[in-house]
Amino acid sequence: MMKKTISRRDFLSQCGRCALFLAGMKTFDWVSLPSLSEAQALEKGFLGRKVSPYFTPLSDGLVRCELCPRLCQVEKGKRGYCRVRENIDGQYYSLVYGNPCAVHVDPIEKKPFFHVLPSTLSFSIATAGCNLNCKFCQNWEISQARPDDTLNYDLPPAEVVEKAKNYKCRSIASTYVEPTIFIEYMLEMGRLAREQKILKVIHSNGFINAAPLEDLCKVLDAACIDLKGFTEDYYRDLTQGSLGAVLATLKRLKDQKVHTEIVNLIVPGKNDDMKEIRAMCRWIRTELGPDVPVHFTRFYPLYKLKSLQPTPVATLEQAWKTALDEGLQFVYLGNLPGHEAEHTQCPQCKTRLIERTGYTVRMLHLQDGKCSKCGQAIAGIWKI
């Protein structure tokens, strides 16, 4: 019998797909893009190159990337930390323009956005690479891969928008890995999406510099930002990032009036101290406002933290109560389908406005973005 072999590239791609399926509680059809074998035929020269506007040439052909706070200095022929940007003869290039390795049609609740066009579909895209290395990453097979090692689609921005329309998606999401690293692709997608009245949304780690973020905000409608912990030590030890940079991003998004939701993954024994969670909630209320939706999500053992247990439900519920106690109006628990903390209630009259189970919306009591009972305006994007 012939033995079937699989290349590292196929393996990584297929692992990425499995992880993305496992991350969701509800599966959706794959977008009809070239099958694995067809896409494989397009492998040669498949990395999309585009000169980045976010670098400064230094002496001796060295460049400094100014896209994220890591500020990588990169020699000729080398790549930055995120693996998708390369110094080619003193010019700094993105290698993933138009070449996503993950393309899905997801419910927008999966991003998770709970205050953006509930119960609609989001055309969701990621390339390989990331500018952090979180020990709990659920998509590490693609986030920590080079684009050379994943199986990539040839999907220019205009085709993304076309496919989003065909699949009746009301938004295009850059997600699964850190979208900052494919910003050139996102900017063009966002510009074209706006012309077609399709929202551009991201799920991001917020580790981006001020100037590129300002550019992005011009085409961005909503951002879901991971606030992974509330100490610099946690960020340094578990993510290789920095808390200060993420807090600055959150404030900039507020200044730019981009609808923002926050995700905090609670990892047992790492960032589950209620004093820390209280301080984080207080910061959110005072710096961003009480109506910013906050999602506490349950950790499952993955990647470099396989030895830990899943977050106890009691810990998540304690965080939920702490956030409500601190005055946050929209607090949710994620990865706990069926829990009462999945629903949205009116902060004024306490009427249940949106009832959810997992990613499914079961009931919607909003009229033009207001509580249908007392007329209280609810933060979010409820129509385009």
Q: How far is the CB of 132 from ligand SF4 (least distance, A)?
A: 9
Q: How far is the CB of 87 from ligand SF4 (least distance, A)?
A: 10
Distance CA 113, CA 111 (A): 5
Greatest Cα pair distance, the chain, in angstroms, is: 71
Q: How far is the CB of 129 from ligand SF4 (least distance, A)?
A: 8
Whole-number Cα distances in Å, 85 to 37, 180, 198: 27, 12, 28
Q: Does 81 bind ligand SF4 (CB under 6 A)?
A: yes
8 A C-beta contact, residue 120 and residue 170: yes
Q: Does 134 bind ligand SF4 (CB under 6 A)?
A: no
Q: Does 96 bind ligand SF4 (CB under 6 A)?
A: no
Q: Does 13 bind ligand SF4 (CB under 6 A)?
A: no
Residue number, 65 or 125, with CB nearest to ligand SF4: 65
Q: Does 132 bind ligand SF4 (CB under 6 A)?
A: no
Distance CA 9, CA 20 (A): 17
- The three-point CA angle 173-169-335 to 5° equals 55
Q: Which stretch binds ligand SF4 (CB under 6 A): 7-15, 63-71, 116-124, 189-197?
A: 63-71
Q: How far is the CB of 55 from ligand SF4 (least distance, A)?
A: 8
Q: Does 111 bind ligand SF4 (CB under 6 A)?
A: no
User: How many other C-beta atoms can be found within 10 angstroms of the C-beta atom of residue 244?
Assistant: 11
Distance CA 219, CA 157 (A): 13
Tell me the backbone φ, ψ of residue 164, rounded to 5 degrees.
-60, -40
Distance CA 265, CA 239 (A): 12
Q: Does 323 bind ligand SF4 (CB under 6 A)?
A: no
Q: How far apart are the first and last CA of the chain?
A: 57
Q: How far is the CB of 67 from ligand SF4 (least distance, A)?
A: 4
Q: Of the candidates 63, 67, 292, 366, which one interacts with ligand SF4 according to CB under 6 A?
A: 67
Distance CA 123, CA 28 (A): 11
Nearest residue to 73 (alpha-carbon basis) of 65, 82, 85: 65
8 A C-beta contact, residue 323 and residue 294: yes
Q: Of the candidates 17, 70, 200, 285, which one interacts with ligand SF4 according to CB under 6 A?
A: 70
Q: How far is the CB of 226 from ligand SF4 (least distance, A)?
A: 16
b or e along 336-351 (b: 16 or more beta carbons within 10 Å of the residue's beta carbon)?
beebebbbbbbbeeee
Q: Of the candidates 47, 72, 189, 198, which one interacts with ligand SF4 according to CB under 6 A?
A: 72
Q: Which stretch binds ligand SF4 (CB under 6 A): 79-87, 138-146, 283-291, 357-365?
A: 79-87
Give residues 151-210 in contact with ligand SF4 (rule: CB under 6 A). Answer: 181
Distance CA 174, CA 181 (A): 11
Q: How far is the CB of 251 from ligand SF4 (least distance, A)?
A: 20
The one-character DSSP state at 236 is: I
Q: Does 213 bind ligand SF4 (CB under 6 A)?
A: no
User: How many other C-beta atoms can be found within 10 angstroms of the C-beta atom of residue 264?
Assistant: 23
Q: Which stretch binds ligand SF4 (CB under 6 A): 80-88, 104-112, 194-202, 247-255?
A: 80-88
Q: Does 212 bind ligand SF4 (CB under 6 A)?
A: no
Q: Of the candidates 13, 87, 122, 131, which one interacts with ligand SF4 according to CB under 6 A?
A: 131
Size of the site for ligand SF4 (CB under 6 A): 12
Partners of 295 in the β-ladder: 263, 332
Nearest residue to 80 (alpha-carbon basis) of 94, 99, 60: 94
Q: Of the candidates 19, 82, 280, 371, which one interacts with ligand SF4 according to CB under 6 A?
A: 82
Q: How far is the CB of 144 from ligand SF4 (least distance, A)?
A: 12
Residue number, 56 or 196, with CB nearest to ligand SF4: 56
Q: Does 80 bind ligand SF4 (CB under 6 A)?
A: yes
Q: How far is the CB of 178 from ligand SF4 (least distance, A)?
A: 9
Query: Residue 27 half-sphere exposure, CB side, CA atoms within 13 Å?
Result: 8
Which residue ranges make up the site for ligand SF4 (CB under 6 A)? Answer: 65, 67-68, 70-72, 80-82, 85, 131, 181
